[in-house]
Amino acid sequence: MLRSSVFQRCAGTLGVLLFAHAALAMAGAPDGRSLYASCVACHGKQGEGLATIKAPAIAGLESWYVDRQLKNFATGLRGAATGDAEGAMMRAAASLLKSDAERAAVAAYVAGLPTRRSAHLESSNAAGATNGRNYFNALCSACHGANGRGNQQLGAPRLAGASPEYLARQFSAFKSGRRGAHPDDKLGTQMRAIAAMLPDSRTEADVITYAAGLPP
């Protein structure tokens, strides 16, 4: 019930903000802070996220990555798969941004919000920590960096300090085809292949815990 009511509040906010965005479009150059108002209901005023509706923390994410994801949602490369309720909500939110300039303005504003390290569970044992580090270095570090801070040239976002719950959902989405299955989503296709290389759920959890535990 709580999640349902929060979803309804987010949906209602999106509808109201359609009018606000129309006014902003007439006011001149896009203002990222004002446009971000449509994101606050789910992602929080400071980009801290809202776990009850699975909205991740986005504060401090690279502007190029945020911009790309907003475009992916708006064009249906992401969030259009059956069963992706959170993605569908993001598609609706992304559709409020009517131009590349507006998306870039929001992305720049999000990138400027102070990064907050997510609370996460440490590996329960030394073997799990070692397993996570070994698989991360073998499969993830080439794109995301040994420090997990990403690589713009490869289109790989920061993983360090991310919410482990969010990373787990994205692994699941890649493996199931809810993300990365669109033929035009080349980077998503690569991630689907990487996710499939993890041998079992325990290893997946170890990798996620290791990545989330890296300092942002």
| pLDDT at residue 44 in the model | 96
Q: Say which residue, 7 or 29, is predicted with more confidence.
A: 29
| pLDDT at residue 89 in the model | 93
pLDDT at 3 over 90: no
Domains identified in the chain and CATH numbers: 2-112 (1.10.760.10), 126-213 (1.10.760.10)
From the list 64, 136, 158, 51, the residue with the least C-alpha distance to 106 is 64
pLDDT at 34 over 70: yes
pLDDT at 97 over 80: yes
Q: Say which residue, 189 or 10, is predicted with more confidence.
A: 189
| pLDDT at residue 114 in the model | 93
Residue 189 binned pLDDT confidence (cut-offs 50, 70, 90): very high
Give the pLDDT mean for 161-166: 92
| pLDDT at residue 131 in the model | 96
| pLDDT at residue 126 in the model | 84
Angle (deg, nearest 10), helices 201-213 and 126-135? 80
Residue 92, number of CB atoms within 10 A of its CB: 16
For 117-155, letters b (16+ CB in 10 Å) and e give: ebebeebeeeebbebbbebbeebbbebbbeebbbeeeeb
From the list 161, 156, 127, the residue with the least C-alpha distance to 140 is 156
The residue to which tokens 């713009």 are assigned:
152
Q: Say which residue, 25 or 81, is predicted with more confidence.
A: 81
pLDDT at 68 over 70: yes
pLDDT at 165 over 80: yes
The residue to which tokens 């993830």 are assigned:
140
Give the pLDDT mean for 64-89: 96
pLDDT (tens digit, 9 = 90+) per residue, 98-114?
999 999 999 999 999 99
